[in-house]
Structure formats: structure tokens, C-alpha cells
Amino acid sequence: MTDLIQISPLSAKAVPGLTGRYRTERNFQRLGRLAIAMSLGFLMFLIVSISYQGVGAFFKTEIRFDVEPAWHDEAAGDSYALLRHIVREAEPEISGRKARRDFFRLIGADAEDVLRATIPDKKFIWLPASDDMDMAVKADFEEGASRLTEQQLDWVRMLAEEDRTRTRFNMGFLTNGDSRDAERAGVGGALIGSLLTLVICFLLSFFVGVMTAVYLEEFAAKNNWTAFLEVNINNLASVPSIIFGLLGLALFLNIFGLPRSSSLVGGMVLALMTLPTIIIASRVSLQAIPPSIREAALALGATQIQMVFHHVVPLALPGMLTGAILGMARALGETAPLMMIGMVAFIADPPGSFTDPATAMPVQIFLWSDSPERAFAEKTAGAIIVLILFLILMNLGAVLLRRKFEKKW
Amino acid sequence: MKEFEMTFKSITVGIALLATSAISASATDQIRIVGSSTVYPFSTVVAERFGRTTNFATPIVESTGTGGGFKLFCAGSEADTPSVANASRAIKSSEAARCAKNGVKDIIEVKIGYDGIVMANAKSAATFNLTTRDIFMALVQNMPLENGTLVPNPNHTWKDVNSTLPNIKIEVLGPPPTSGTRDAFLELAMEAGCKKVAWVKKLKKTDKKAYKKICHSIREDGAYIDAGENDNLIVQRLKANTDVLGIFGFSFLDQNQDVVKAAKINGIGATFENIADSSYPISRPLFFYVKAEHAGVVSGLVEFITEFTSDRAVGDDGYLSERGLIPMPAAEHKMLRAQIMNQIAKQ
């Protein structure tokens, strides 16, 4: 734009007030750049602070212990006894009930699960550390950064010096369900819940929304009645989302008797919320189709419905899909309506079907942020990263769809 | 066109099928728990352990607040209503009446232990030694004077309240009005301080409403700040601003001992031991309520109650004490447990 101003053949003398007008334009552009810089700054701050806090959630600390095959036989399948045995053999100098219990607190709650899953012929085994030790190692033993006692910190330092600790990618964080033990907790259950909810939400809102838009735009007469409908649809798009939750509670749970906390009901409620957005986006993309397409189809003898479904809708589809995906992205971030229908809950088992109790990503973030255990702060930020990545993927999909199918006239 | 119709038809049929399968699925193989957000961290730990160590499904625990929990709990006695309601206070008579009206007649009350409410500040800041009177005088909306009148709270600094306290502006972060923690704080700390004024104490007998209005109010001029339901946020802000005090549950103090420390109340520190022997003044019992009618209907319910009341969970050395629950004295626990088991056996 600045180029345009500079190569203008008009001189300041020839046109009175030209300098002032140029100045206004430059100032306006400066303001615009400032606005963009500010919003980018906020976004960067959010992303950097969340990444800084949350990157640790994707890694976990492990401790190496020696193990002999015979111990497995001795324990006879009792993984707790085996764990005790391994620790006792590894640290014989730690004596006294309290000291041994303190040392035992360095080992993660999921250590038994690991033991149960290993083959007995290994010479040594890596066991997950407890959340408290994990936090201490990640904070580099910084003063006041963990709940460990001096004695426990000394042990951790000793383990680190002996090269018996390592940091590994925490796959469980992506695959596990919710847990009250930070070392075991993962977003897997919430991810599946979100996915199931979105499937229902998409199936309901997309088809109903597109049909509504097509009818209103292509078939309905333009009269007071349709104008009234239009105002209402636009209004619905800005109704606070919790209202849809209340509606879902009254309608789907109390009258239809659908199962509480299920992703089916969650999806239905979110579909109600997304419908107006999709209807509006679909109508806009239908309006963008030039009348010549319609007239050409009709002139060649197509009926109204053939014209709409053979020509107009396929051309408008990329725009409709984009609208739908953006609506879905908003639905993905909602917690408030889900609270009313019981999806804000501790649900440990990942859902296997639409009717199983499920949570969703933002709900998981909300629940973790309120947990007293320190390690959940890291998990909260980690879950936010996963949610943001999910959103970026969806929005990227919307952009690609538009690029690939959009037609320009 | 045909194709479109086909897909549309199959999708409608699919949704209809889904809906019918949903209705036929029964909820009786999974325990549903609702209620207090204070009990939630304990209830979920028991639920998870229960799911992991038995063949029953892990119970679903919803954090709805005590009042919201009773509303759902008392909605009816059908198998798909919640079987357990967590509560950070005893059930009110109005709630029990609502239950009875909807056919929930047999409710078993289970006390699981105690929770302390602490007033804490940053570890690097001065240690506060407060009395309940100090707390009341610092936070009440309209202060009752000895001569029987009310004035808008004139105290700006802690020194104004009590000359032995530091000369710092009064600024307290605490739970919002919807929270059970706030109710308990009003009842245990504010009311106790309120009663120290003689004429207000007398008022309790003559005009209960006016009494409550004086004692259960919190100033709204910015000295008390609603910090939302998230106690972690309060801890974060205490760390950043050493002049501020925060009100939250003991379990958050327990987890953050390295950054915050609790004020002594009436000379008694907010420690595990002091809350357990109830010498610490701001502590309250925690409960859960069970629908006795569900004992034979919802599979695993009896086993779940057995686990939740076991020594292993709520006993002196139980796994919940590690999460910040303050256990009951052993004798009381034993007695209550026997009572509850009796009640269940009758079903």
C-alpha cells in the first residue's frame, strides 16, 4: 500500500490538503500494524508460557533397579511384594520403617502396572518415579520446588549421580484415562470423549444445518415469517452456551431419558449450540454462488431441486464445510454446557461407545487445574497444548478444504 | 441426488438406532456419585482404587457442589439416579424432605473425616497469629460496636484490627458465595468472632435473622476478594504477593507447604494433629450419603462403601490421609463403621 502512495504522480502543491490525507492514511496503517502486533504478542505470551509449563507433562522420570528372575517366582504374581523385594535389595542400607516408607514414596503409583507387564528374564528394570520426585528432577532440585524432604532429595541426588535415573517420553499421558495419581493421569480418555462428542455433533448439526440453510435460501418465500426466523437464528448464535446445557438437561436427560454423562448427549447439546453457526455460514456460502449458475441450470431444463442439489450445493459445499469445522472447533472448547449434563466428572475408563460415560478435553483441563496435587499444574498445561494442537489441526483442515475446492468467479 | 438421499437415510436410521440402544442400556452396573467439590478429591481416589482392585466398573464422580449434589441425589430412587452424594456439611432438613417426597426414604449418612479451613500467606511473609475475633473484625461488612450500633467496617490494616498484628493492608483472597468452603468459613470463623460482641450474642436468641445478617456478612469494599473456586489460583497469588492472605482447604496447604504457611487461629496452628483432635477452630466434618434402596440394585455399591469406610482408606494411616483428609479418632471410626455396616445389612 505504501508503494501506491509513493508513486502517486500528484504533488502536494497540485492538490491542496494532500499531505494531510497521506498522513491520515499512514497513521491508520500504523494503528493497524500496532493492533496486529499486540494480538500477536498476547498469543505468543500464551503459547510460550503454556509450553514452558506444560512441556514437562510429555516426559517422565524413571529409576533403574536391578532384578533377578528368581524374585519373580518368589513373589508368585504378587506385584506389590515383588516391588517391595526389588526396593529392599537395591537399598539395603535404608533401614527403619519410616525411612523405607519415605524411600518408597519416590516410586510411582504405576510401578506395579509396569512390573506386571514385564518379562521375568530382565537383569534390570526401569520403574516410573512418583510425581513428587518427577517434579524435583524436572526443577533441577531447585530449593522449594518440591514437597520432598531433605533426606528424600539426597536419595534422588544419589540416584542421579549413580546414573540410575533417566527421562523418557511419557506415552501414557496421551493414551491413559484420568487418574488421581499424576504419574498415571493422561488425556487419552478425554481425547476419545471429545472425538465421539464431535462425531455426534457433526452428524446432527451439519445435515440439519445445511438442509435448513438450503431451504431458507433456495426454496422459502421471502416474507415476514422467514425474516422472523432469520432474526431468531442469528440470535441463537449468540446465546450463552450454558443455556444449551440447561435445555439438554431438561430435554434429552429428563424427557428422552438418555444416559447422563454420555458423549451422545454431549454431542446433541453441542449440536444445538453449533447449528446456528452452521446455518449462517451455509447461507452465506449459498449466497456467494452467482445467479448465472442457477439460471443456466434452469434454462437447460433442470427442476428447482435438481438445480440446487446438482449445481448450487456442490459449489457451496467447501464454504459450508469450513463453517462447520469452525463451529466444531468452538464446540471442542466448550465446558459450560457439558457441566449440566454430567460430563464434568471423574471418569477413569476411556469411553468405548457413544453411550458410555465420557469427559472432553476442556473438562479434563478444568478438573486438573483444580487438583491439589502439584504435579497436576504441569498436566493441566500439557493438556492445553494437546487441545491447542487439536484445534490447529481442525482449523488447518478448514483452510485446506477451502483452498482445494473453492471456486472463484 | 439418489446417493445423497441414501446417505441421508442411512444417517437418520443410524441416529435412531443409537438413540434406542442408549435408552435400553442400563446404568445399574456403574455407581454414580455427585456432590461437594471438597470431597471430590477423596471420593475420586477411592473410586479409582476401587475400580482398579475389584471387577466392578470405576464409579463416576461428579463435582456439583454439596447443594447441587443433593438436588440430583434426591430426584428419585430409580437405578439411574446417583447412589451417593458427597457433602461438606450435614444434609439439611429441607433436602431430606425433598428426598422423602421423591421416594428416597432410606438414606445412610457416612462421616469420612474432617477438613480444616486455613488462612495462609506466603512462606517468606510475616506469620499471622489471629483470633476468630480478629478475622471477624477484619472481614465483616458492618462492624457491631460495643454500644449497640453498626458501622461500615473502618479497618484498613491488620494493625487497625489488633495492634499486635503487622501494619499491612487487609487483603484476603477467598472462595465465592457458591462455595461450601465459604459457608463453613462464615459459620466457624466469622460467627465465632461475631459472638465475642455481647449484644450480638444476645441477639441470636431474640432475632435470629438480624443476628445472621450481621455475623454472616463479608465486606465488599475490596478487602475481601472472590478468587473463584480454584484454590490453586489462590496459592499462586499468595506466592506472588506476600501481603495477601488466602482462605482454602487444608489439602491445598498440605500440598504446598513449601510455598505457603498457615496463620495460627486462637493460638493453634493448622496442623494435621490439631485438626484431628478438633482443637483447631475452623474445621468441619465431611460426609457422603448413600441411598440404602440401591444396595441390592447397583452392583458394587456395598463393596464401595466398605472400601470407603475401611481403615485402609480413612484410617489413621489410610491412603486418604496422604491426600489431606483428616481422619476421625479411631474409636469414633470403629463405632460409626459398625453402625453403617449394620444399616446396610438390614437392607
Distance CA(A233)–CA(A236), nearest Å, equals 5
H helix runs in A215-239, sequence order: 224-236
Distance CA(B19)–CA(A287), nearest Å, equals 35
pLDDT, one tens digit per residue, over A255-305 is 998 888 999 999 999 999 999 999 999 999 999 999 999 999 999 999 999
Q: Position of cell 438450503?
A: A214
Domain count for chain B = 2
Confidence at A248, pLDDT banded by 50, 70, 90: very high
Strand partners, B283: B116
Pairwise CB contact (< 8 Å): B11 & A203: yes
Residue B90 resides in a domain: yes
Distance CA(A243)–CA(A227), nearest Å, equals 24
Distance CA(A28)–CA(B304), nearest Å, equals 67
β-pair type (B172-174, B129-130): unpaired
Task: Determine the straight-line distance between the first and last CA of chain B, rounded to whole angstroms.
Answer: 62
Pairwise CB contact (< 8 Å): A345 & B257: no
User: Measuring CA to CA, which residue among B238, B230, B241, B222 is closest to residue B153?
Assistant: B222
pLDDT at B24 over 50: no
Other CB atoms within 10 A of residue A133 CB = 26
Distance CA(A387)–CA(A384), nearest Å, equals 5
The dihedral formed by the CA atoms of B226, B229, B230 and B234, expressed in degrees to the nearest 10: 30
pLDDT at res. B9: 52
β-pair type (B245-249, B172-174): parallel
Q: Which residues of chain A have a CB within 8 Å of the CB of B25?
A: 259, 355
Q: Please check whether residues B293 and B248 belong to one and the same domain.
A: no
pLDDT at res. A87: 83
Rounded to an integer, the average pLDDT of A3-9 is 54
Confidence at A179, pLDDT banded by 50, 70, 90: very high
Pairwise CB contact (< 8 Å): A357 & B63: no
Signed CA dihedral, A156, A160, A165, A167: sign only: positive
β-pair type (B60-62, B172-174): unpaired
Confidence at B14, pLDDT banded by 50, 70, 90: low
Q: Please check whether residues B237 and B193 belong to one and the same domain.
A: yes
Per-residue cell: A363: 473438562
pLDDT at B4 over 50: no
Rounded to an integer, the average pLDDT of A154-179 is 90
Distance CA(B248)–CA(B118), nearest Å, equals 6
Strand partners, A59: A169
Q: Please check whether residues B181 and B299 belong to one and the same domain.
A: no
ipTM rounded to 2 decimals: 0.80
Sheet with A124-128: strands ordered across: A124-128, A59-66, A165-169
Local structure of residue B269 (DSSP, 8 states): -
Distance CA(A169)–CA(B131), nearest Å, equals 50
The dihedral formed by the CA atoms of B97, B103, B106 and B108, expressed in degrees to the nearest 10: -70
pLDDT, one tens digit per residue, over A307-319 is 999 999 999 988 8
User: Measuring CA to CA, which residue among A324, A344, A326, A178 is closest to residue A245?
Assistant: A344
Question: At a CB cut-off of 8 Å and minimum separation 6, what does B208 contact?
Answer: none
Rounded to an integer, the average pLDDT of A323-337 is 90
pLDDT at B328 over 60: yes
Which string of DSSP letters, residue by residue, matches B138-197?
A: HH-SEEEPTTS-EEE----BHHHH-TTS-S-B--EEE--TT-HHHHHHIIIIIHHHHTTS
pLDDT, one tens digit per residue, over A380-401 is 999 999 999 999 998 898 888 8
User: CATH code at B134?
Assistant: 3.40.190.10
Contact of B127 with B261, CB cutoff 8 Å: yes
Q: Please check whether residues B133 and B269 belong to one and the same domain.
A: yes
Contact of A248 with A341, CB cutoff 8 Å: yes
Distance CA(A134)–CA(A317), nearest Å, equals 50
Pairwise CB contact (< 8 Å): B41 & A306: no
Question: At a CB cut-off of 8 Å and minimum separation 6, what does A322 contact?
Answer: A281, A285, A398, A401, A402
pLDDT at A166 over 70: yes
pLDDT, one tens digit per residue, over B157-184 is 999 888 888 898 999 999 887 677 888 8
For chain A, give the mean pLDDT.
Answer: 88
pLDDT at res. A406: 75
Rounded to an integer, the average pLDDT of A51-65 is 91
Q: Position of cell 459450560?
A: A336
Q: Find the residue in A nearest to B258 (Cα).
A: A144
Per-residue cell: A237: 448464535
* Among candidates A180, A309, A345 on the partner chain, residue whose Cβ is nearest the Cβ of B4: A309
Q: Please check whether residues B262 and B338 belong to one and the same domain.
A: no
Strand partners, B109: B289
Q: Which residues of chain B have a CB within 8 Å of the CB of A367?
A: 63
Domain that holds residue B53: 25-114+285-346
Q: Please check whether residues B104 and B139 belong to one and the same domain.
A: no
Q: Position of cell 461407545?
A: A353
Percent share of chain A, pLDDT over 90: 49
* Among candidates B1, B51, B60 on the partner chain, residue whose Cβ is nearest the Cβ of A345: B60
Distance CA(A87)–CA(A191), nearest Å, equals 36
Other CB atoms within 10 A of residue A267 CB = 26
Q: Which residues of chain B have a CB within 8 Å of the CB of A262?
A: 22
Least confident of A134-148, A230-244, B298-312: A134-148
Contact of B50 with B76, CB cutoff 8 Å: no
Q: How many residues does chain B have?
A: 347
Pairwise CB contact (< 8 Å): A309 & B15: no
Q: Find the residue in A nearest to B82 (Cα).
A: A260
Q: What angle do CA A283, A285, A288 make, to 5 degrees?
A: 110
Pairwise CB contact (< 8 Å): B41 & A180: yes
Contact of B22 with A264, CB cutoff 8 Å: yes
β-pair type (B264-265, B129-130): parallel
Q: Please check whether residues B87 and B201 belong to one and the same domain.
A: no
Cα-only R_g, chain B: 24
Among B261, B283, B305, the domain boundary falls at: B283
Distance CA(A157)–CA(A93), nearest Å, equals 16
Burial class (CB in 10 A: 0-12, 13-18, 19+), A118: middle
A12: distance to nearest CA of chain B, Å? 56
Rounded to an integer, the average pLDDT of A320-340 is 90
pLDDT at B20 over 80: no
pLDDT at B116 over 60: yes
* Among candidates A203, A369, A373 on the partner chain, residue whose Cβ is nearest the Cβ of B15: A203
Question: In 3-state terms, what secondary structure has residue A61?
Answer: strand
pLDDT at res. A394: 87
pLDDT at res. A6: 56
* Among candidates A203, A309, A355 on the partner chain, residue whose Cβ is nearest the Cβ of B1: A309
Pairwise CB contact (< 8 Å): A344 & B251: no
Contact of A269 with A331, CB cutoff 8 Å: no
User: Measuring CA to CA, which residue among B41, B36, B57 is closest to residue A179?
Assistant: B41
Question: At a CB cut-off of 8 Å and minimum separation 6, what does B335 contact?
Answer: none
**What letter represents residue A404's amino acid?**
K
Residue B5 resides in a domain: no
Q: Find the residue in A nearest to B10 (Cα).
A: A203
* Among candidates B15, B22, B48 on the partner chain, residue whose Cβ is nearest the Cβ of A355: B22
Q: So where are chain A's domains?
A: 60-168, 188-405
pLDDT, one tens digit per residue, over A348-367 is 988 999 999 999 999 999 99
* Among candidates B47, B252, B255 on the partner chain, residue whose Cβ is nearest the Cβ of A346: B47
Percent share of chain A, pLDDT over 70: 95
pLDDT at A8 over 80: no
pLDDT at res. A10: 60
Q: Find the residue in A nearest to B235 (Cα).
A: A372
Question: At a CB cut-off of 8 Å and minimum separation 6, what does A41 contact?
Answer: none
Per-residue cell: A22: 497521506
Disruptive mutation site among B13, B34, B181, B255 for chain A (greatest number of A CBs within 10 Å): B255
Could you tell me which residues of chain A have a Cβ less than 8 Å from any Cβ in chain B?
Answer: 144-147, 179-181, 203-204, 207, 256-262, 264, 305-306, 309-310, 342, 344-349, 354-355, 357, 367, 369-374, 377
Q: Please check whether residues B129 and B166 belong to one and the same domain.
A: yes
Residue B16 resides in a domain: no
Confidence at B25, pLDDT banded by 50, 70, 90: very low
Residue B91 resides in a domain: yes
Among B283, B302, B320, the domain boundary falls at: B283
pLDDT at B16 over 70: no
Question: In 3-state terms, what secondary structure has residue A26?
Answer: helix
Confidence at B149, pLDDT banded by 50, 70, 90: confident
Q: Position of cell 512441556?
A: A55
Q: Please check whether residues B67 and B191 belong to one and the same domain.
A: no
Which string of DSSP letters, residue by residue, matches B77-140?
A: -STTS-SEEEESSPPPHHHHHHHHHTT---EEEEEEEEEEEEEEEETTSPPPEE-HHHHHHHH-
Q: Find the residue in A nearest to B2 (Cα).
A: A309
Percent share of chain B, pLDDT over 70: 92
Q: What's this model's pTM, rounded to 2 decimal places?
A: 0.82
Question: At a CB cut-off of 8 Å and minimum separation 6, what does A288 contact?
Answer: A316, A319
Contact of B57 with B300, CB cutoff 8 Å: yes
Residue B15 resides in a domain: no
Confidence at B8, pLDDT banded by 50, 70, 90: very low
Q: Please check whether residues B81 and B154 belong to one and the same domain.
A: no
Burial class (CB in 10 A: 0-12, 13-18, 19+), A165: buried
Percent share of chain B, pLDDT over 90: 28
Q: Please check whether residues B121 and B77 belong to one and the same domain.
A: no
Q: Please check whether residues B317 and B203 belong to one and the same domain.
A: no
Q: CATH topology for A188-405?
A: MetI-like fold (1.10.3720)
